[in-house]
Amino acid sequence: MRYARLNAEMELRAIEKRLVEIIVNLGYLKGRSRRTSKILAYLVIHNKVTQKMLREAAGYSLGTVSTTLKELRQLGLIRESLDPEGRERLYELVVPLSQQLAYYSVAMNRYFHEWKEFLEQLESELRKNHVAKKKGAEEIRHFINKMRVVISITTDAMGRLQFTKPEIQREVADK
C-alpha cells in the first residue's frame, strides 16, 4: 500500500515536471526567459506559493527566486500578500489560469482599440509638412497600413470564432 502511494507520488512529480516544461516552452514563445517561465509554471500549478516552496520546486537559489518574483510583479503578472497563518509572503497570479481566457478576450478588444488610436496618431504626425517627406516616412506609412490589415485580420478571426462569447461564459462558469 505504502509502496503504491510512493509510486503514485513519484509519477505525479514526473507529470508536474513535464507540465512545468510545457509551460516553460509556451512562455518561450512569448519571449520569456526559462527562469521566469519556470517560476510562473509553479504559480500556475500550485496557485499560491512562498519563496521557499519555489526554491525547492524550481531548484533556484533564494536570490534568483526573489529577483524573478520582483520582475514578474513589475510586469503585473503576479501579486504578493502576507500569509495570515505564518510570516511568509505568498505569491499568486494576478489573473488566475481559470480566468485568463476571459481576461485576455476582454483585454484584446481594449488592446486593438488602443492600437487603432495609436495608428491614427502616427498618421497625423506623418501628415505634418516638415515630416511628410523625410527619409523613412514611407516605411512608417507602410507599417501603419500593415498593422491595420493585421488588426482587421485578427478581429475578423476572433469574431468568427466568437472568441469573446461562449468560451468566456464557459470559463467563468467552470471556475
Partner 1 sequence: MIAKIARDNLKGFDREIREIEKEIVTFFKEKGAEFGGKDPIFMTILAYFYVRERLTQQDLQDLSGFSAGTVSKVLRQLVGINVITKGIIPGTHKHLYTMDQPSVVFSQFFLPAGKILSKYEDELRQTKAHLIAHASEMRRIKGFSGMLVAVTLLQRSVHLASTLIAEMKEEAKKQVKK
Shortest Å, Cβ 18 to partner 1: 7
Minimum distance between the CB of residue 2 and partner 1, rounded to whole angstroms? 12
Q: Cβ contacts of residue 53 below 8 Å, gap of 6+?
A: 42, 46
Q: Are 158 and 164 in contact (CB under 8 A)?
A: yes
The number of beta carbons lying within 10 Å of the beta carbon of residue 132 is 11
| String of contacts with partner 1 for each residue 58-77, x by CB under 8 A | -----------------xxx
| C-beta pairs of 50-58 under 8 Å, 24+ apart in sequence | 50/83, 50/88, 50/89, 50/90, 50/91, 51/88, 51/89, 51/91, 52/88, 54/91
Other beta carbons within 10 angstroms of residue 51's beta carbon come to 20
Contact call for residue 173 and partner 1 (CB under 8 A): no
**Which is nearer to partner 1, 63 or 127 (by Cβ)?**
127
73, 108, 116, 164: which one binds partner 1 (CB under 8 A): 108
* Residues of the shown chain interacting with partner 1 in the complex, contacts defined by CB under 8 A: 4-5, 7-9, 11-12, 15-16, 18-19, 22-23, 25-26, 28-33, 36, 44-47, 75-77, 97-98, 100-101, 104, 107-108, 110-111, 114-115, 118, 122, 125-126, 130-131, 134-137, 139-140, 143, 146-147, 149-154, 156-158, 160-161, 163, 167, 171
